[in-house]
Chains A and B, each alone.
Chain A
């Protein structure tokens, strides 16, 4: 009954202006909530905090760089998170980060969106990476050609016996579609670099939300085949030697074979800034591309040969 009295009280006595006031305050709170994010757009490079986000392939390397750089320059704070190349580039375009990591180069759509927002992304090649094809240690198969990989991932080869292995079904593992590795693998392995090709991953392909997801499944499942950046391959997985076709040499991924170009599935890894970097950000990028390169082999990636 209190409720009803209160209501009548509000109506009869001091009602109109008071309830109006409450609504106005509420409206004010709502509006201020809406406009707040626009004020927090960071100014690239001007602060001593660098927010770095993107490719899961690059995240460990980016973390190692950040830690080493922060040890050298204690006044700088660098935060690193993963999420995928697309995630990082989108965050950069939305103005929430200073530096995006990407395991693929920026897409035309993303460039279009950047132009719309008045941002001019600048690309830096920071390292090279091999994409390793991994299987379970128990799997007797130890080499494979690119056309075979394409046939496996489009669902034409479905049993390991077709590749000289045991009579077991093949379980296809892939990264999620927001991964730069996914796009690279589709374009260069499944479609064999043919830009007119319309081939896609077989619908049965398991999309794992993380590199760790692929490792866990490959480690315990003798049927599984997966792909991932060389830096993520642990010793309890078997890395296959890959050949361009049956008549070419089978090559295992390593720093040497990526540098001399004999391993067929390798790529450049990138960092992007929204516009010309300045201050700490510029210094950090310069360091990555010079002294920072020494850290790369420890994490299983391949350093740039030429100094930029």
Chain B
């Protein structure tokens, strides 16, 4: 509701309500504390929305794919060295605070290394994408494990006996059966990445602003109404994506 107020905390009387935070123009600002256009008249918002959609969709898609793959390795390799190794390695990002984790990536990619083999990625969307993917591997892989545990090994063994090789088994048996679990894993990472802030804050440059960082920026500039409006947009974006995934069988409550 604060996004419709002129002065936060001054009540919800008609004289304190406005749509400025959404569609207002600077010359008609109802209060001097507003120093930028409303959300839908602000070019920064469009770019941040685009970045958020791009980042959350691409990162959660890649995370979910790898999560299922790691889940497959850890469940099928349970008790074997490679299954245990993957399970341990995958969990490391979970142990670190988001800021510390991005600081590692910040220093790793601040300048070209190994004679340019590892390029400098600071200021690029790729670095933010990379950090978001790796940080969310533990959740996605856990979701992948619980998904793969529901696919009986015997289903694969039956395919093996009928002559299916590894890729044929994955294509014809595992992927069709893992579809719903994949969507649930995707949603789990997606919701987290769409509202991510601390993880990517220190890697932010103006052209890579995401909605959550923009909201943070506005609240710093004493425009909490616009920041709130952005939060509502983020929630709507998450709900819409959730609804679409739900139509295809994804359910975030089944992903863990």
A interacts with B? no
